[in-house]
Chains A and B, each alone.
Chain A
Amino acid sequence: MSSTTIAPSQSPSRRLVTTPGESVLSAGRTPRSLWSNAWRQFRRNRMAMVGVVYLIFLTLVAIFAPAIAPHNPVESNVGEAGQYRQAAWTTDPNPLKTGTWDYPLGTDGIGRDVFSRLVYGTRISLVVGFIPLAVILAIGVPVGLAAGFLGGRVDTVLMRLTDIVYAFPALLFFIIVQISLGDSWFGSLLNGLVLLFVTLSVINWTGVARLVRGDTLSLKEKEFVEAARAGGANGWRIIARHILPNALGPIIVASAFIVPGAIIAEAVLSFLGIGVRPSPNLDNPFPSSWGQMIQEGYQLWQSQPWMLVGPALAIALITLAFTFVGDGLRDALDPREQI
């Protein structure tokens, strides 16, 4: 990748690979652990590290929300906080609507602090993003690998199952499930979050499974896999050493989309009136969600821009962080980039 580089590389990680001294090493494919190498590689990717730092930061925000938020996100006192107060730097003829740093991003329709709700919203967004992702990968990757690699009857059975689940139109399935089970004991677990996780996971694992299967099918035919097989490597080793690492790229890209997808799904369900259920409990650990905030704010983009911009920006940033981390992981785990 030296002289024929199509695009001039800017990233430090790319430049490292093209350093002549090190590329000699890379030709040797040293037996050092895949993962420790990957971590070394990953650490050198500045954007990926920024993503990781941001996600850690968000996790801290989520944990320490009560300390960070200036107000209780549930408490509403319109007489004092003012309804639809503007952001701190905006003035308004009405003193109750003029911005103040007490309420940095203003207040919402019932006088709750937008900034505090944003801070607490981190919690729902992180769990809504991560938990279904974990479940989706835990089901989708093994199913896809098994179907693609083993083929034959296993493939047929797994793919028929996937086809059936896949055939449910996603959004419509969410709606029916929410309406049907939303008022059951199960539907009200953790403000309805559990039901949301389950539906998101049930629908989305098939996408990952199909993706992984497709990749596996094509990788299985590749020269290096055939070579490994000829060299007597068993199935597990081929999967772990050759197929999985090569299939990781698309999986990671897809994963980086599942998280914002889940957060958006929550917003869309709020739009349809069937999202996470609210609670007047002042100590509720999950009092607000970015999706719900976008739903409340999207029509007010003119008069109360921060009710929309705040949560939309928050979702965009977390998406970006995931994309960076995903890209970094993909590069780091690429077997051909091992140093």
Chain B
Amino acid sequence: MVEFLLRRVLYVIPVIVTVTAVTFFLMYRAPGGPWSSDKPLPASTERALNAKFGLDKPLWINPGAVTAERDAGENNPFVLGRALFDSQFFNYLFGVARLDFGPSYASKGAESVQSEIAERFPISLKIGLVGIVFALLVGVPLGIISALRQNTWIDHLSLFISTLGISVPTFVTGLLLVILMSRGFGISPVRRPDAWDGFGSAYLLPGIVLGLGTMAYMARLTRSSMLEIKRQDYVRTARAKGLANGIVVNRHMLRNALIPIITIVGPAAADLVTGSIIIETIFNAPGLGREFVESIGKRDYSMIMGTAIFYAVLIAFANVLVDLSYGFVDPRIRVRR
């Protein structure tokens, strides 16, 4: 078990390297840089800014530095190797290894990427948590009833709700809900900054809007999986043996029907936590998702890569949790290796 966990944690390393490399490649391919503005920036100022933030180094490897070191009479392979990797990409990776995600360029170094993440992420996390709890709390029961009462009005209603949940984009549902709540119930469409401290009611609406799609998906998945299980031999056997319906539903069906749900809960939660960009815009929440999109626009390279890595690690660990949870739900699937 411990070995399994350790192994899975180590697997995160190639994930980080790949995510960094791909993000880095894509980002530098995009035209413009962190100092792009309409105003004429003197060449010397731009150069000095680049030097200040290490953006004057080569992108991937630095053979120039190796030649320079060798010309200086340096033969130590360690020093030469370090010189070769004195590039923007590897310097960033080395920084990440030291848990240093670099300065945020958009703030011109006023803030570090990790402090930005530490400040912004809790808000996205809380919205995402409300979302996943809402999705589970509504989606799973909705799916169960639809399956138990297949083809009744409640099944149709559930279908209607889940269709709405996935076919209307969040910026539409979000905006409509904000306006309806404001006009119908006098709930302010904007929130004061302290509303985001702690875990207050401000998180409710954005969380629900965010969780709507996942809720719909969970309802459909639960329903389908329940129907599947309903027809399984052992359920039939249990019924034939005369077990009360409730016991059949509870002990036999639910536990098995929940397997696909559990498969997606972790990733779905990670998706919600990392996918609240538009919700944060509509609900004016100072979360990390919005910051991330803005940092792409600003070519705030360190912020983009730092957030991408952070999110990737988050998703990777959500997956580890899923793998672990299989064993708990269905003891026959043991954690192997």
- Give A contacts to B, CB under 8 Å: 1, 4, 6-11, 14, 156, 160, 163-164, 166-172, 175-177, 179-181, 183, 207, 210-211, 214-215, 217-218, 221, 223-224, 246, 249-250, 252-254, 256-257, 260-261, 263-264, 267-268, 271-272, 291, 294, 298-299, 301, 308, 312, 315-316, 318-320, 323, 327, 330-331, 334, 336-337
- Going nearest first, the 9 A-B pairs with the smallest beta carbon separation are A167-B312, A180-B26, A169-B274, A10-B151, A319-B167, A316-B167, A214-B263, A169-B311, A7-B149
Which parts of B15-41 form the interface with A (CB within 8 Å)? 15, 18-19, 22-23, 26-27, 29-31
Residues of B contacting A294 with CB < 8 Å? 169, 172
The answer on a CB contact under 8 Å between B150 and A210 is: no
The answer on a CB contact under 8 Å between A315 and B278 is: no
With beta carbons under 8 angstroms apart, the residue of B26, B213, B225, B319 that contacts A166 is: B319
CB B114 to nearest CB in A, in angstroms, measures: 18
Stretch of B59-67, B189-197, B325-333 lying at the A interface: B325-333
**Residue from A6, A169, A171, A267 whose CB has the most chain B CB atoms within 10 Å:** A169
Residues of B contacting A11 with CB < 8 Å? 150-151
**Residue from B172, B278, B316 whose CB has the most chain A CB atoms within 10 Å:** B172
Residues of B contacting A217 with CB < 8 Å? 326, 333
Can you list 9 contacts pairing A with B, beta carbon distance less than 8 Å? A167-B313, A169-B271, A169-B315, A175-B293, A217-B333, A253-B221, A268-B171, A294-B172, A298-B171
CA distance A308 to B179 in the complex (A): 15
Contact with A along B219-249 (1 / 0, CB 8 A): 0110011011011110010011000010001
The answer on a CB contact under 8 Å between A253 and B26 is: no
With beta carbons under 8 angstroms apart, the residue of A263, A316, A330 that contacts B164 is: A316
Residues of A contacting B19 with CB < 8 Å? 164, 167-168
Q: Is B308 an interface residue (CB 8 A)?
A: yes
Q: Is B49 an interface residue (CB 8 A)?
A: no
The answer on a CB contact under 8 Å between B220 and A169 is: no
The answer on a CB contact under 8 Å between B14 and A160 is: yes
With beta carbons under 8 angstroms apart, the residue of B175, B217, B330, B333 that contacts A299 is: B175
Residues of B contacting A252 with CB < 8 Å? 224
Asked if A164 meets B150 with Cβ closer than 8 Å, knowing A221-B332, A272-B293, the reply is: no
Q: Is B148 an interface residue (CB 8 A)?
A: yes
With beta carbons under 8 angstroms apart, the residue of B15, B149, B176 that contacts A167 is: B15
With beta carbons under 8 angstroms apart, the residue of A6, A218, A319, A337 that contacts B163 is: A319
**Residue from A168, A264, A271 whose CB has the most chain B CB atoms within 10 Å:** A168
CA distance A268 to B337 in the complex (A): 41
Residues of A contacting B240 with CB < 8 Å? 4
The answer on a CB contact under 8 Å between A167 and B27 is: no
With beta carbons under 8 angstroms apart, the residue of B14, B167, B293, B337 that contacts A260 is: B167
CB A178 to nearest CB in B, in angstroms, measures: 10
The answer on a CB contact under 8 Å between B267 and A315 is: no
CB A59 to nearest CB in B, in angstroms, measures: 19
- Find the B residue at minimum CB distance from A177: B26
CA distance A96 to B307 in the complex (A): 50
The answer on a CB contact under 8 Å between A210 and B224 is: no
Residues of A contacting B166 with CB < 8 Å? 257, 260-261, 264, 319
- Find the B residue at minimum CB distance from A179: B30
CB B206 to nearest CB in A, in angstroms, measures: 16
CA distance A299 to B308 in the complex (A): 31
The answer on a CB contact under 8 Å between B275 and A175 is: no
Residues of A contacting B171 with CB < 8 Å? 268, 271, 298
